[in-house]
Chains A and B, each alone.
Chain A
């Protein structure tokens, strides 16, 4: 069973027959398939023009929702970002604003 399949197969609609013995969870890192982004009531908004790519925000994200590539951060992974706003707190350049979820566009 792949990680993705396991997440799809065993969920809150699964019957007891489908639950693994002892509730064993097979496959590491399956939280990737659990979209916690919809828990978000506040949303960080990244202003790329103010960002100096210091990457202070990257390691503090508890949900690994700031992807980085070739030493540069990309926009948030909103499938998993819970909106905790720690990134905004550590940003020395005011490059991350926090707005109520759903008002991202107003920025």
Chain B
């Protein structure tokens, strides 16, 4: 039986980890993800989990330990944020190319410069090309649910890729909200046992992991990662479907909110989607055909499905919680426009940069965005990219 509870996003992730009871967690504390290893070590001290908790001396070591543990054949997890993720950077690529199904709880925080502890997506967006599957969560419930699904996606033989489950630092990681928690047995049964086909500590078959890959092999290795990432689409859908069947909460690659007849729409990821939905409802009441798409899975990127969902939309605001400093906007802006190109041409778009370093975004800000999009439909020039919520 599931139970209704209230807790923060970090607590929700910790509960999921306790239920999953992974073999190894290696982590180094960094705000705002610090609470996760804190809760885990408390669970360990209380005998609630038999996880091997490795208190490493840096995030570089945390990911290295996860790679070692995962290669040895066990479930390995970590949690990090911001500069911590940046310190893992080279190992993120190693984990992906070694095809090790490591799971990370990423609690999004601005990647320093200037120093800041609050939420934006610049940390995980920096790792968008590392070969990790990236799933973003709107609230504590989604963080919990996504975490329960993560291992099955990562460990699927057609995938074998590391997964990061992202949520917005403080905004959801430290906010108490209502949540439905599954009972331990159902959660554990859903995640299942991990029995890797090949692993280092198998006395019956010796194995070499992480071989040097000369030019003659490197591209074939990358091509096989490409295939695995593409395979992840079906696996994510299947696992999410099974989750919906068993737990009653359904998730797709993205959530289309009131998109049926939408003329203006925004696309975004993470905690601000809920604020955007409130804005959409308010606009709908006034007869404005507004809609919202909340992207859940950023890697693999559901380009084809997005092109379909935006068919019929006349103006689209693509909202990045991260600037890519291309001079044209952020990573979501670039990817969504590429997805639309040649498939849903004719949609006017503006790439909004918002919420950097914890800058609050209000329902009112969304109204401004939808207003600009409407003006864009009516012929007023829409800028390619603009910052919203910044003092002008």
Interface positions of A (Cβ within 8 A of B): 12, 14-17, 19-28
Known contacts A12-B217, A16-B223, A19-B217: A25-B208 contact under CB 8 Å: yes
Q: Are A22 and B220 in contact (CB-based, < 8 A)?
A: no
CB-CB nearest 6 A-B residue pairs: A25-B208, A22-B99, A16-B220, A16-B223, A28-B206, A21-B99
In the bound complex, residues from chain B placing their C-beta under 8 Å from that of A19 are 217, 220-221, 224
Supplied contacts A12-B217, A23-B98, 7 more A-B pairs, CB within 8 Å: A22-B99, A23-B97, A23-B213, A23-B217, A26-B208, A27-B206, A28-B206
Q: Are A23 and B211 in contact (CB-based, < 8 A)?
A: yes
Shortest beta-carbon distance from A80 to chain B in Å:
19
Q: Are B223 and A25 in contact (CB-based, < 8 A)?
A: no
Shortest beta-carbon distance from B133 to chain A in Å:
15
Q: Are B217 and A24 in contact (CB-based, < 8 A)?
A: no
Known contacts A21-B99, A22-B160, A23-B221: A16-B227 contact under CB 8 Å: yes
Show 25 residue pairs from A and B whose CB-CB distance is below 8 angstroms, ordered by the A residue.
A12-B216, A14-B220, A16-B220, A16-B221, A16-B224, A16-B227, A19-B220, A21-B99, A21-B224, A21-B228, A22-B98, A22-B160, A22-B209, A23-B98, A23-B217, A24-B99, A24-B198, A24-B207, A24-B209, A25-B207, A26-B206, A26-B208, A27-B205, A28-B206, A28-B208
B92-131 to A contact mask, C-beta < 8 Å, 1/0: 0000011110000000000000000000000000000000
Interface positions of B (Cβ within 8 A of A): 97-100, 160, 198, 205-211, 213, 216-217, 219-221, 223-224, 227-228
Taking a contact as CB atoms closer than 8 A, the residue among A12, A14, A21, A27 that contacts B160 in the complex is A21
A16–B217 CA distance with the chains assembled, in angstroms: 8
Shortest beta-carbon distance from A68 to chain B in Å:
25
B199's nearest neighbour on chain A, judged by CB, is A24
In the bound complex, residues from chain B placing their C-beta under 8 Å from that of A22 are 97-100, 160, 209-210
A16–B97 CA distance with the chains assembled, in angstroms: 13
In the bound complex, residues from chain B placing their C-beta under 8 Å from that of A16 are 219-221, 223-224, 227
A22–B197 CA distance with the chains assembled, in angstroms: 13
Shortest beta-carbon distance from A10 to chain B in Å:
8
A74–B220 CA distance with the chains assembled, in angstroms: 41
Shortest beta-carbon distance from A34 to chain B in Å:
13
Q: Are A26 and B224 in contact (CB-based, < 8 A)?
A: no
In the bound complex, residues from chain B placing their C-beta under 8 Å from that of A20 are 198
A21–B101 CA distance with the chains assembled, in angstroms: 12
A16–B205 CA distance with the chains assembled, in angstroms: 23
A20–B228 CA distance with the chains assembled, in angstroms: 12
In the bound complex, residues from chain A placing their C-beta under 8 Å from that of B100 are 22
A71–B207 CA distance with the chains assembled, in angstroms: 32
